[in-house]
Amino acid sequence: MAYPDATAARTQRRDDPLPAAGSGGQRDRTTMRPGREGPAEELLLAYLREQFGELLTQQRRVQAEEPDAIHKMRVSTRRMRSALTSYRRLLAPEPARTLRTELKWLAQLLGAARDAQVMRHRLQDLVASQPPELVLGSVSARIDEVLLSDYAAAVRNIGVELQGRRYGRVVDGLSALVLEPAWTADAGSSGPETAERMIRRDRSRLRSRIRKAKAEEDRELHAEILHEARKEAKRLRYAAEVWKPAGGQAAEVMADAAEGLQKTLGEHQDSVVTRALLRRMGSLPGPGENGFTYGRLHAIEEMRAEAAERQFRRLWKHFPKGP
């Protein structure tokens, strides 16, 4: 299956975007489930096919304005990009490199709406938890004014781009990749051994980033490095997901541990972004407001960030050493 344009992709209704059999009556290798001892290409291809199908499913849900569809489409996008990054030695440089760039663009497109939505819920819950006498002015209404506007603009942009040529080319490229991958010689190597090597490399990258964060005394730079560590944890998590059919329980443990680390560091980053918004809003309060409530919320977010970092340290202390 290949999509000549985004309209075809938008109207595509199959649950499985790939044919069930190859030519000559033989089963197409792209439809086979990877075995524990199969080649590395089977592990990666099965994962990419699954996530490509999920991308198309969630695309339709986004366009139908169904709840949580933007988030789920963004996750499938990130999973494919991460797998193409961690296992890049299995594929020829092109078109994999171009697809990684385009998947990054797509994740950012979807992320603008998702981030505004998450921040609004976070702040509204925080305001609602405060004693009424400490909420001075229309703080809740102003939060909605700013973030609902950002969300609406982002959703409109998503709607336009999903009907555009760039997204159509992304779908075309992914379709071609999972139908006729350009494998390297490494793709035929042992799946378990190759995946374990990739996991060790990604875990080493995460460890290096965490060491750098620990050594950084500047608070802003420290937070930025922790955000990069979060990205490395997410990459490791998705690499471990590719490994699961061959790695069994060890892969499950690694994926779960990386997800826990990612979520904790995500809470830390959410607090960093929320505090930046609160600073801006507090420095220019609206009619009938002053900076008091925004400063109070900022202080609470500081405590949340500190708690998240303590939890991160506990999780890292017991993080699996690797395959």
Is residue 18 domain-shared with residue 103, that is, in the same domain?
yes
Is residue 132 domain-shared with residue 25, that is, in the same domain?
yes
Q: Which residue reads 């994999």 in tokens?
A: 96
Is residue 231 domain-shared with residue 320, that is, in the same domain?
yes
Amino acid at 323: P
Please enumerate in sequence order all residues whose Cβ is within 8 A of that of 114, keeping only pairs 6 or more positions apart, or say none. 70, 71, 74
Comparing 16 with 100, the larger pLDDT belongs to 100
Q: Containing H/E element for 47?
A: helix 40-63
Is residue 168 domain-shared with residue 216, that is, in the same domain?
no
Q: Give the range among 25-34, 174-183, 291-300 with minimum mean pLDDT.
A: 25-34
- Tell me the three state secondary structure of residue 318: coil
Question: How confident is the model over 123-132, as pLDDT tens digits?
Answer: 999 999 999 9
Is residue 54 domain-shared with residue 170, that is, in the same domain?
yes
The answer to whether residue 22 scores a pLDDT higher than 70 is no
- Taking a C-beta distance cutoff of 8 angstroms, is the pair 182, 91 a contact? yes
Most confident range (mean pLDDT) of 4-8, 186-190, 256-260 is 256-260
- What percentage of the chain exceeds 90 in pLDDT? 84
The answer to whether residue 306 scores a pLDDT higher than 90 is yes
Determine the Cα–Cα distance for residues 63 and 59; give it in Å rounded to an integer: 6
Is residue 116 domain-shared with residue 198, that is, in the same domain?
no
Q: Which of 188, 205, 227 is the last residue of a domain?
A: 188
Lookup: tokens for 159: 């709607």
Is residue 127 domain-shared with residue 227, that is, in the same domain?
no
- Taking a C-beta distance cutoff of 8 angstroms, is the pair 265, 227 a contact? yes
- Taking a C-beta distance cutoff of 8 angstroms, is the pair 40, 183 a contact? no
Of 39, 26, 28, the C-alpha closest to 1 is 28
**Residue 282: C-alpha distances to residues 149, 287, 292 (Å):** 19, 12, 8
- Taking a C-beta distance cutoff of 8 angstroms, is the pair 40, 195 a contact? yes
Q: What is the DSSP code string of 232-289? A: HHHHHHHHHHHHHHHHHHHHHHHHHHHHHHHHHHHHHHHHHHHHHHHHHHHHS--TT-
The answer to whether residue 5 scores a pLDDT higher than 70 is no
Number of domain units in the chain:
2
In terms of residues, how long is the chain?
323
Is residue 239 domain-shared with residue 212, that is, in the same domain?
yes
Which CATH number covers residue 173? 1.40.20.10
Q: Looking at beta carbons, which pairs linking 69-77 to residues 24 or more positions away fall under 8 Å?
A: 70/110, 70/113, 70/114, 70/117, 70/155, 70/158, 71/110, 71/114, 73/110, 74/107, 74/110, 74/111, 74/114, 76/51, 76/52, 77/103, 77/106, 77/107, 77/110
Is residue 219 domain-shared with residue 177, that is, in the same domain?
no
Q: Which of 167, 188, 209 is the last residue of a domain?
A: 188
Question: How confident is the model over 155-178, as pLDDT tens digits?
Answer: 999 999 999 999 999 999 999 999
- Taking a C-beta distance cutoff of 8 angstroms, is the pair 177, 48 a contact? yes
Lookup: tokens for 88: 């890049």
Confidence at 21, pLDDT banded by 50, 70, 90: very low
Comparing 36 with 241, the larger pLDDT belongs to 241
Confidence at 15, pLDDT banded by 50, 70, 90: very low
Is residue 196 domain-shared with residue 293, that is, in the same domain?
yes
Lookup: tokens for 273: 């972004």
Q: Containing H/E element for 38?
A: none
Give the mean model confidence (pLDDT) for residues 267-273: 97
Domain that holds residue 281: 190-323
Q: What is the DSSP code string of 50-88? A: HHHHHHHHHHHHHHTT-TTHHHHHHHHHHHHHHHHHHTG
Confidence at 14, pLDDT banded by 50, 70, 90: very low
Give the mean model confidence (pLDDT) for residues 83-94: 97
Is residue 180 domain-shared with residue 51, that is, in the same domain?
yes
Q: Which residue reads 């000549």 in tokens?
A: 4
Please, what is the average pLDDT of the chain?
90
Q: Give the range among 23-32, 129-138, 184-193, 202-211 with minimum mean pLDDT.
A: 23-32
Is residue 9 domain-shared with residue 136, that is, in the same domain?
yes
pLDDT at 35: 58
Confidence at 223, pLDDT banded by 50, 70, 90: very high
Q: Which of 188, 208, 242 is the last residue of a domain?
A: 188
The answer to whether residue 61 scores a pLDDT higher than 80 is yes
